[in-house]
Structure 1
Amino acid sequence: MKRLFTLMIALFAVMTFAKAQDQASLDQAVKDWERAKAYIQEYMDAMPEEGYAFKPTPEMRSFAEQFLHIADANFGFAATISGTKSPLGDASAEKTGEKTKAATMKTLNDSYDFVLAALKGLSADKYRESINFFKMNMTRAVVMGKCFEHQAHHRGQSTVYLRLKGVKPPAEKLF
């Protein structure tokens, strides 16, 4: 009887610890996305207005299109994990959005706010729940990890645009 009681207490402790880890993971994701939003804002601020139309080569995205592409993904991924509609509907900010500095910054900031609202609207259990995404089964946490990777990739590409325009990119923000 004593062993059974000890086993039940241990099982309860493990389950409680696992739940706490899930919540910590979700809380960290929110912090990471808040940091990413502030960091990408510095990139957008650094480029002068005339640089928003700049393309390093004709077949590449413009500086504005890089960030509108990030916004499209942010809206789409966050809509998927939250079960809500993207504010863009089926439209693409990259393809149809206004590409001025102010409009690009607004669209991108709105997309980060949408991501943050989606994450904050999830419970830890829901965050770890598997969903179908691009015909693959993965947790909402993995989906948003892929989205985070995507925005970091394109933000990194924009460093080249800044350098080619003679603008020093913002210092890295790991924390």
Structure 2
Amino acid sequence: MKNTILILLILFYSVPLKAQNFFTSQYPQVWERASEYTLEVAKAMPEENYGFKPEADAMTFGGQLLHIVDNISFLTRLISGESKTFYDRTKAEELNKDEIIEILENANDYVGSLISGISTDDLNTAIEFRKLEMSKENIFYLLRDHQVHHRGQCIVYLRMAGVKAPPYVGW
């Protein structure tokens, strides 16, 4: 019976350690690869098509990329407590391709710095997001998921505009 309890305790405590180990040892590279792939997708679209959208109610290609940045601004505030704005939203329509790419790169780099600088205790801190309690670690995963979602839409836009999408980059 003591051995069973000991084994259960070891299993109970080892699962969180493995999750923490993944985040600290591998997630920084996961974020970097995901960010680089998004930048490749952004670079693939010719500047004249940054205003492309498949229908009137859809975001433009450039708008999809800025929406990723806006989400980074919103969600990283939950992690750092700092409100970070990467561009003047009132002038979003005036931004060209190179400016949007630079803004996206700066926002992704900011997330990367938060990933590399966060302590395990802070990573496990519970926060409230949309009436749900979750850890700050979950917010990092949400940042990636949101970017992947809109990057996928950008890939569809590329194809609709007759532009070859960059080859897929996975984990």
Question: Smaller-chain TM-score range?
Answer: 0.7 to 0.9
**What is the count of residue pairs matched by the alignment?**
168
Q: Distance in 2 between matches of 1:128 and 1:53?
A: 40
8 Å CA contact 1:68, 1:108 repeated in 2: yes
User: 1:100 and 2:85 equivalent?
Assistant: no
For residues 12-37 of structure 1, give each alpha carbon's deviation from its aligned partner in whole angstroms, at most 9, with x where no partner exists.
99757844641332332211110111
Equivalence for 1:163: 159
Give the conservation status (yes or no) of the 8 Å contact 1:82–1:122.
no
Task: Name whichever of 143-152 and 63-72 sits farther off.
Answer: 143-152
Partners of 1:23 and 1:123 in 2: CA distance: 12
Pick one of 23, 40, 50 that aligns with 1:42.
Answer: 40
Pairs within 5 Å for 1:8-19: 18-19=16-17
Q: Matches of 1:13 and 1:54 in 2, distance apart?
A: 52
1:106 and 1:172 map into 2 onto residues whose CA distance is 22
* Percent identity over paired residues: 33
Instruction: Give the counterpart of 1:139 among 135, 138, 142.
Output: 135
- Other-structure match for 1:126: 122
| 1:78 counterpart (76, 79, 92) | 76
Distance change >3 Å, CA 159–CA 17, structure 1 → 2 = closer
Cα pair 1:74 1:115 within 8 Å, conserved: yes
Q: Which residue of 2 aligns with 1:109?
A: 105
**What is the root-mean-square deviation in Å for CA atoms of aligned residues?**
2.6
TM-score with structure 2 length normalisation?
Answer: 0.84
Give the equivalent residue in structure 2 for 1:68: 66
CA contact under 8 A between 1:130 and 1:139: conserved in structure 2? yes
Question: 2:27 matched to which residue of 1?
Answer: 29
Letter of the 2:138 partner, please give it: V
SS of the residue corresponding to residue 166 of structure 1 reads coil
Deviations 1:131-170 (A, max 9, x none): 1123321111111212211110000001111011111111
Q: Which runs of 5+ in 1 are unaligned?
A: none
Contact 1:30/1:119 (8 A) holds in 2:
yes
* Structure 2: 5+ residue stretches without partners: none
Following the alignment from structure 2 to structure 1, what is the Cα–Cα distance between the partners of residues 61 and 45?
9
